Amino acid sequence: MKHVLESVESQFEMFQILNEEGKIVNEDDMPDLSDEELKELMRRMVYTRVLDQRSIALNRQGRLGFYAPTAGQEASQLGSQFALEKEDFLLPAYRDVPQLIWQGLPLYQAFLFSKGHFHGNQFPEGMDALSPQIIIGAQYVQTAGVALGIKKRGKKAVAVTYTGDGGTSQGDFYEGINFAGAYNAPAIFFVQNNYFAISVPVEKQSAAKTLAQKSVAAGIEGIQVDGMDVLAVYAVTKNARERAINGDGPMLIETLTYRYGPHTMSGDDPTRYRTDDLNDEWEKKDPLVRFRTFLESKDLWSEEEENKVIEEAKEDIKKAIKEADKYPKQTVTDLINNMYDELPPNLQEQLEQFKEKESK
């Protein structure tokens, strides 16, 4: 019986294209990306790293509310999003705001989402996405439903969702992948395994050697990929998308990654559960350093170009936070009107009372 388990687990060896030294390990796996597309990927990762740094500072200043740091996970988040098309439907978790931004969400609205303002969830026309899910794993069930809707309408698109390693311990995770598998729905399920569900190590969550192997029970394809390698994540996502729209079913993708900051800015202290040695080990795998080294070896990137992106990001962030700050404040009447189509009598009475207070 042990041999059977080992034979299953052996199927899920980590897929990698770019190693820690920024060198291609297998030219045959290299995705078909132009030089300009490669540079655009780097630009997005640098921009997002600056956005993370500034968002943390804005949170500490009290100008943002809830915020989940993203540094370290750029390759996993942006490599996957770069492989999507505009018609694809995105169902993110709360750390996955960068994917929404690059899918079309204006930056000031991302800041309003952090502030808890309803306009942060009013996505532009033509942008197919749900708001970042706070309930762990719930987006997996929603993704199965959205993917089935896409299939029933005959659209050439996919539903894409993300959770962390901790999300795989939720019942919603299994229900979502099982339903999608049973109905052969065009869905891509990401597990961004950063090894700690807040403070709980992944080995204390599951006895499975990989999280990708959880796909076996649902009868869907699964793969484990180096989540610090943007090229590998892009290639795997591109393949998963092509399979899904061709009717070959959903895929579960485990990206091995790491968040350099706390779980969120709401009081988490990662020094209580992560060692300096572990942090140092993952710093050497930084997705920006790795990809930068690769591009520089091809004369596609320079310090001057990177500094230009950094300044561009800082300027965009400055304008966006000003716009978010001056946006009309959310009121209690906004909350009530947005929650109900038809108000029960008791809330109708309260609504009138709040309208009177707000008009003074």
Q: How far is the C-alpha of 122 from the C-alpha of 119, rounded, in Å?
A: 5
Query: Is residue 50 domain-resident?
Result: yes
Token pair 């770019």 is at which residue? 18
Q: Which residues contact 360 (CB under 8 A, 6 or more apart)?
A: none
- Residue 279 CB neighbour total at 10 angstroms: 14
CA angle at 133 for the pair 62 and 141, rounded to the nearest 5°: 175
Region 117-123: mean pLDDT is 95
Q: Domain count for the chain, please give it.
A: 1
Residue-number span of the structural domain to which 290 is assigned:
2-329
Query: Is residue 37 domain-resident?
Result: yes
Can you state the angle between helices 35-60 and 287-297, rounded to 10 degrees? 150
Q: What is the pLDDT of residue 35?
A: 98
Q: How far is the C-alpha of 74 from the C-alpha of 100, rounded, in Å?
A: 13
**Residues assigned a catalytic role:** 259, 263, 273
- Residue 20 CB neighbour total at 10 angstroms: 15
* pLDDT grade for 1, boundaries at 50, 70 and 90: low
Mean pLDDT of the chain: 95
Describe the strand order of the beta sheet including 187-193 as a list of residue ranges. 89-91, 159-164, 187-193, 251-256, 221-226
Query: Is residue 343 domain-resident?
Result: no
First-last CA distance in the chain: 74
Q: What is the pLDDT of residue 339?
A: 86
pLDDT tens-digit readout, 273-330: 999 999 999 999 999 999 999 999 999 999 999 999 999 999 999 999 999 999 999 9
For residue 3, is pLDDT > 80?
A: no
Taking alpha carbons only, the member of 223, 217, 216 closest to residue 240 is 223
Got the DSSP string for 116-139? Answer: T-GGGG-PPTT--BPPPB-STTHH
Region 88-114: mean pLDDT is 98
Work out the percent of the chain whose per-residue pLDDT is above 70.
98
For residue 272, is pLDDT > 90?
A: yes
- Residue 159 CB neighbour total at 10 angstroms: 29
Contact 143, 187 (CB under 8 A): yes
Any idea what the CATH number is for the domain that residue 19 is in? 3.40.50.970
Query: Is residue 66 domain-resident?
Result: yes
Query: Is residue 65 domain-resident?
Result: yes
Query: Is residue 164 domain-resident?
Result: yes
3: left (phi over 0), alpha (psi -120 to 50) or beta: alpha
pLDDT tens-digit readout, 237-255: 999 999 999 999 999 999 9
Alpha-carbon torsion, ordered 147, 237, 261, 138, to 10 deg: 10
Query: Is residue 11 domain-resident?
Result: yes
Sequence-ordered strand ranges (E) for the chain: 89-91, 159-164, 187-193, 196-197, 200-201, 221-226, 251-256
pLDDT tens-digit readout, 38-96: 999 999 999 999 999 999 999 999 999 999 999 999 999 999 999 999 999 999 999 99
Query: Is residue 21 domain-resident?
Result: yes
